[in-house]
Structure 1
Amino acid sequence: MRTTALLLLTGLCVVSANTCAADGTDHRVFDAGQQPDDSRLKDPKDLNAYFPFVVPESKAAWEQRQAELKQRVMVSTGLFPMPKKTPLNAVIHGKVQRDGFTVEKVYFESLPGHFVSGLLFRPEGKVTSKRPAVLSPHGHGGRQQNYGADKMKALIESGAELHEKSGRFPKLARCAQLARMGCVTFIFDMLGYVDSHQISYEVAHRYSAIRPEMELQGRWGFYSPQAEGRLHSILGLQTWNCIRGLDFLESLPDVDAKRMAVTGGSGGGTQTILLGAVDDRHIAGFPNGMVSTSMQGGCTCENCSLLRVGTGNVELAALFAPRPQSMTAANDWTKEMMTKGYPQLKQLYEMLGVPENVDCYEMLHFPHNYNAVTRREMYTWMNRHLKLGLDDPIQELDWEPLTKEEYTVWTDDHPEPPKGNNYERKLLQQLNDRDLEVLAHHKPEGSTATQNYLSTVRSAWSTLIGRGLPKAEDVQRTKGWKEVRAGYLEFGDYLTLTTHGEQLPIVSVYPKSVEWNQEVVLWIDGQGKQGMFPNGQAHADLLRLIDAGYSVVGIDLYGQGEFTTNGVPLKENPTVKTSRQFAGYTYCYNDTVFARRVHDILTVTAWVNGDEHSPKALHAVGVNGGGPLLAAARAIAGSEFSKAAVDTKGFRFGTLKTWKHADFLPGAVKYGDLPTLLSLSAPNRLWIGGEETVPGIVTQAYAESSASDSVGSSGGRLDTTTAAIEWIIQQ
């Protein structure tokens, strides 16, 4: 038995470019001043990085990835689980006639009191059968974007536009032509544009500086830590407005709901991509100007926390497959699409058996656009897939532009709704109440409701953390040093997670004076492995574990100990280089410090339990700020830990004052905060310290799992670390 234990703790020396050289005198694995060779120590990825799409090897693998990413999109946009849809109360008024089509003003409530405004283009003539429909999120510049007379001359000379009048309004031009082709077409205002004033343009698209008055308890707005903790974002609201836009079209008596399509350009292209990921109703798409392995969208309305972690716009566009979609490559961030992005989309569609359902037109002689040449390709695509039966190519016709009176939705008879900071605060509270309702207010009643709630939030937390238990074979151990201490042996090594380029310094201690009981305890500490050795000496509670026959493993998690230059754990998340104080610019593309630390716990867990000389039991204690990390790891790893002792110190994600805090995790408040996270340990054995009583949802979860005896608490003890260790030993 003693030989087996030593094999577990010393392992085999794995050849690595980064070797251990320290001697263990200060419990370091690497030499002083040396950090792990870890990919996460590079600068955070930003929206201008490279985002390749790697096509899975099989249809089954793609379907699994597709489901995972669809959930990521829904979680990140605040739409998981899907909120209850309230009545639209749509109003259509102010019809005007043009040659071949009519235009009407529209407004409806995507949420009670929150209005979506826009213009409805319909084919001219009597309705004899239901018509196809196209939803058109316009993109930056607004639906009334006007090139002006001076610019139009150059655009016509270059071939980018055809008609001086209608070409000046390129977003409306596509709507008019689609209506002439027989499609009911709705173009709606992005937040802050034209008639959408409830959330201002400056807030939706130009947010930069923190607004202290919008970060008050119970009175918060977008971009605040409260909003980020609940995944409420401008992008999420616009995605919801898109969904409700399809609802509106579907509700019209002259629309064939089985023949709907979506097209938008630039920021509207981003919305087209995301709508295609979360809504299955439309059968064709033309997301223009944003399907790219390069820049992913620069506006605050195109980014939100969690959205593109481990993915990018090409793969997100691929979620629309196998439905037909097309796009263009222009002389902008999409210019490499013909060699980087489109070939992978083509490969995916071929694997799915429909290679004809994806296309990309090369138009590198034009800058970023949705011009007449691009629109012509879109018309051809819609003609084919909406089965319009028209002859190609379709020639766009000129028309008389709308006057301001004709395109303005709000009038004396249809007054503009409330706007400003107070409205924004009210809206954010409304979004919070909406989420609580669909999540049963975090207080489910009855067995079925409890199990449904826990299943839903468990799925959501898997997205928030963003990684499961790695394969044991992907974790390599490199031997460092061995020290003989009084009563125990101490080993310094590091683990490498080969699939992610991550390295973890670990210290393992093994009882020398008593026989090993074949059980291992992970010591998760807010100070890293130094937490086991305050002032350089073994913690009294560490010695208790050793004397009881346990081996103990301490870890420097990301941002702790040897990951830092001064040994002091990170207090804030590294952020991308920008002056704009928006969490989404960082967390859209990068895991948080909290999530990365949970990943590290999972890596060590996989290594211990996957070793050929694995122990008969693995336990874990989370103390000194490590409790919430262990709670999250336990929610993912489940029974991989036989026992878990979590000292919460009363921590709640919802009390953090800044989204930069090292313990911040987007969405954690929405999905029940720490109490719900603890409840996801059921039915496995759990001890909770730092709480006056066991949280109600934890008690409920264990009772519904017929495991009430498997959860305990500190019972008010203040020496929670000692109490946690005693529980591990005595249970």
Structure 2
Amino acid sequence: MSKLIANGSNPAVRVPKVEMPESLGPGPYARYACFLLAVGLAVLGVTVKAADPRLGRLVNLRTDRFPFTPPTSVEEWNQRSAEVRRQVFVAAGLWPMPERPAPKAEVLRKVERDAYTVEAVRLESYPGHYVTGSLYRPADATESRRPAVLCPHGHWPEGRFHAFQDDALIDQIESGAERYEAGGRTPLQARCVTLARMGCVVFLYDMLGYGDSRQLSQQAIHAPSEDSILTADNAWGFYSTQAELRMQNPLGVQTYNSLCVLDWIESLPEVDPKRIGVTGGSSGATQTLMLCAVDDRPAVAFPVVMVSTAMQGGCGCENACCLRLGTSNVEFAALMAPRPLGMASADDWTRNTATDGYPELQELYALLGVPDRVMHASLIQFPHNYNYASRAAMYPWLDRWLGLEAGDLAVETDYVSVTPDEVRSVAPIEDAAIGRGHEVALMKAVEASSADALAKLTPTDADSLNKYKNIIGKALHVLLDGAEKSLRDAQANAIDQQRADGHAVITLLITGAEAGVELPALARLPRNVETIAVVVSDAGKTAIGPVDTLPTALAAALLEQGIGVLGVDLFAQGELAPDDGPLTEMPVVANQRPVASLTFGYNRTAVAHRASDLLATIAAAKDMQPSIKKVVVIVEPEAASYGAAALAVAGDAVDAAVIDTGGFRFDEVRSWRDPDFLPGAVKYGDVPGLLAQGAPRPTIVLSEPADDTPSIATQAYAAAGAAERLIRLRPGATLESAVEKLADTLAP
């Protein structure tokens, strides 16, 4: 980190000496001149607003490339894979993992075929919510322990009951995509039949809204519109802002359902729990990736037509806020390593996987010493599918790694399809457990399950506090996209200095927050300053008073205490604001589906951007000159969302904090396009949960409601043995009036 070195006029500041050549070419002079134009320094008499690159084009799952960079060492991969798994857990709403019920399944009817049987199954996951499917078993399945294969399906019409009509069937057979009439007409059944004939217990289960899973409509899950998304305060449903604030999403429910399926299938007396495979196509492949990311029990996986550096899964049920920030499906597939991973691609977004994605997976498996455990079948002569050709690549892979030794049985032959009526889950479901009523009930069940898991982490002593902060801190790392990384390598470079009454006024450029980002800042520093306060405000750097004016009342109060002040333009503020004025609504990725995950599954929120910028500023502040020993943060009411977020992950980079929350709660945010929106913030305790992460740092809080019931912040400080360090000021107190109290907390 660079320091601002002393000069003759003020021992605190180094002002670069600039001699401007007649013609500016590429190099430091040109960069300096461009910056002067950007920040509009008063000495130039012109104002040209800087361009924040983050206000440009957003990452789009359909148009961007999502590469996977293989690790260079096993240690690097162990660390990275743990981070990505945790990201999946958090995005799916499963961090910490809620307690799952003991498997409770009903086998409702049975159809006998040659060498195998098919049974209708209904399995309860959340209270009153059911996973439905067809269970295929070898006729002699009770004779010995056998492998099992889970088969989540994709967006095939009618789900597990999908059947092609005659014209499509003929095309499939004539093109070579299918070989037999039954397999060509009912391709989802085909792999189950063959795997059962090979000796596996197979469960083909419905995704939400398909097949027998009709408690929720297809539209509610897979084709939501502005009109179909429930938004009432007490009746939130999937894709609503209330759900996103709690990390509730269809991807998470389907992944939880898959975990319940896995619990149940391994509990069957005829199943060998150490030989379980998973295979699905399209969004069924997405679910294959998700299940294998959050659970180590699957011994082998074979996702079809989804592992790609191109399109990542276009449905809301395949996306979640924060899920693919800095990662992608190829890396999700890599989480199988060193377990065997097979894949197949087609003439769709996976057409280039053979040369872009698969070689990188081969590198990883070679690094781990198991190069033979990854394979890819490039079947780009066929469109998007899970057809005979793909299945023919899958059978020997599962045969090998599940230890089947099936021989000729691993070659698909014809069969008699089961009809929907033969294997439909016909147990009655009350009307209240269908549609909008069930959607609301399911959200409440998910929230209750999550709340129970989090309640067990409530800190009561130092050890439980460390555990609480570690688990919630890892979740915040995901929600804020690793914003705390900005504490490293931040730099503050002085651009201009002026004298004021008893202090220097310094114009700064802060870098290190995000690539290509430069934060205009302003500091007011007394001589020999030992403590500097970063003032966080929607007003940006002018919150401490513009260059050519007197300090603001807050800045003046701090200067009177000998505390320096630093103001900064964070994301979309001040010099970095959009052309049309202050940011009032977040831009979104153009898509016909109005869901948050298609934007914030791939792009940071404003809160995350601003937290990252603020953390870089905090790091740069402490490094401005050798005399500065302490950094404090003062948060104005309108900045409560990102100020509290940054403080939650700042650790010991901040010595004390003052935050006027203005009574703000994320729970009151009503649109996921609101700049204050942070997915998962309510799940992890809202503002009090963020403040709890700071314990035992001295923190002065203003404008909070009466604390009749101890908040999680109060409990955390008590557990740290530092209850007195969380200071609540009386109603009506101002930040200016808090400065004297702050000075007391900083006194030796």
Other-structure match for 1:387: 403
Cross-structure match for 2:545: 533
Conserved in 2, the CA contact under 8 Å of 1:602 and 1:637? yes
Deviation, 1:415, is: 8.1
- Choose which of 438, 444, 449 in structure 2 pairs with 1:429: 444
3-state secondary structure, aligned to 1:688? strand
3-state DSSP class of the match of 1:470? Answer: helix
The aligned counterpart of 1:653 is 666
Comparing 435-444 and 578-587, the one that deviates more: 435-444
1:427 deviation in Å?
1.0
Of residues 291, 310, 331, the one that matches 2:326 is 310
How big is the shift at 1:630? 2.5
> Per the alignment, do residues 126 and 386 of structure 1 end up closer, same or farther by CA in structure 2, a change over 3 Å counting?
closer
Count of aligned pairs between the two proteins: 724
Is the partner of 1:309 in helix, strand or coil?
Answer: coil
User: How far apart are 1:443 and its partner, in Å?
Assistant: 5.7
Map of 2:23 onto structure 1? none
Question: How big is the shift at 1:454?
Answer: 3.7
User: Which of 146, 149, 164 is the equivalent residue of 1:147?
Assistant: 164
Q: 1:710 Cα shift?
A: 2.0
Q: Does the C-alpha gap of structure 1 residues 660 and 31 become closer, same or farther in structure 2, counting only changes over 3 Å?
A: farther
8 Å contact kept, 1:287–1:327: yes
Once residues 361 and 24 of structure 1 are traced to their aligned partners in structure 2, the CA distance between those partners, rounded to angstroms, is 54
- Give matches, 1:294-693, under 5 Å: 294-391=310-407, 394-410=410-426, 418-440=433-455, 451-470=466-485, 474-497=489-512, 500-511=515-526, 515-533=527-545, 537-565=550-578, 568-610=581-623, 613=626, 615-693=628-706
Query: Which of 709-718 and 367-376 deviates more?
Result: 709-718
Q: Deviations over 1:557-585 (max 9, x none)?
A: 10111111458431222211123210111
Q: 1:557 is paired with a residue of what secondary structure?
A: coil
Matched, 1:282 2:298: yes
Q: Is the 8 A contact 2:559 2:565 kept in 1?
A: yes
Contact (CA 8 Å) 1:472, 1:610: kept in 2 or not?
no
Stretch moving more, 621-630 or 679-688:
621-630
- TM-score of the pair, normalised by structure 1: 0.93
Contact 1:100 1:180 in 2 (8 A): yes
1:41 Cα deviation from its structure 2 partner:
2.2
Change (3 A) 1:173 1:574: same
Contact in 2 for aligned 1:47/1:298 (Cα 8 Å)? yes
Counterpart of 2:184 (choices 148, 167, 171) is: 167
C-alpha displacement at 1:156, in angstroms?
1.1
Question: 3-state SS of the aligned residue for 1:242?
Answer: helix
Q: Which moved more, 1:150-159 or 1:276-285?
A: 150-159
Alignment pair present for 1:712 and 2:742: no
Contact 1:5 1:516 in 2 (8 A): no
Q: CA deviation at 1:170?
A: 0.7
| Sequence identity (%) | 38
8 Å contact kept, 1:532–1:542: yes
SS in 2 for 1:268: helix
Q: Distance in 2 between matches of 1:708 and 1:206?
A: 49
Residues 598 and 31 of structure 1: CA distance in aligned 2, closer, same or farther (over 3 Å): farther
Alignment match, 1:726: 740
The answer to whether the Cα contact below 8 Å between 2:103 and 2:264 also exists between their aligned partners in 1 is: yes
Gaps of 5+ in 1: none
Partner of 1:194: 211
Name 1:702's counterpart in structure 2: 717
Distance change (3 Å), C-alpha of 1:211 and 1:148: closer
2:56 is aligned with 1:42: yes
Amino acid in the other structure paired with 1:253: P
Larger mean Cα displacement after TM superposition, 535-544 or 93-102: 535-544
- 1:88 is aligned to 2:103: yes
The amino acid across from 1:161 in the alignment is: E
Across the aligned residues of Structure 1 and Structure 2, the Cα RMSD in angstroms comes to: 2.6
Residue 499 of structure 1: how far off its partner (Å): 6.2
Q: 1:4 to 1:244 in 2, by over 3 A?
A: farther
Following superposition, the deviation at residue 297 of structure 1 comes to 0.5
Contact 1:27 1:530 survives alignment (8 Å): no
Q: Secondary structure at the match of 1:177?
A: helix
Amino acid at match of 1:312: S
- Give the letter aligned to residue 344 of structure 1: E
Question: 1:475: Cα distance to partner?
Answer: 3.0
The answer to whether residue 187 in structure 2 is matched with residue 136 in structure 1 is no
CA shift, 1:442, in A, is: 8.0
User: Residue in 1 aligned with 2:90?
Assistant: 75
Distance 1:406 1:325 in 2: 34
Secondary structure of 1:88's partner? Answer: coil
CA 1:26/1:693 → structure 2, altered by over 3 Å: closer, same or farther? farther
Amino acid at match of 1:564: A
Q: Aligned letter for 2:103?
A: L
Quote how far apart the aligned CAs of 1:333 are: 0.5
Conserved 8 A contact 1:647-1:721? yes
CA separation in 1, counterparts of 2:76 and 2:8? 38
Question: One-letter code of the match for 1:524?
Answer: V
TM-score by length of 2: 0.91
Quick check: 2:40–2:48 contact (8 Å CA) kept in 1? no
Q: What residue in structure 2 maps to residue 65 of structure 1? A: 80
- Give the partner amino acid of 2:554: D
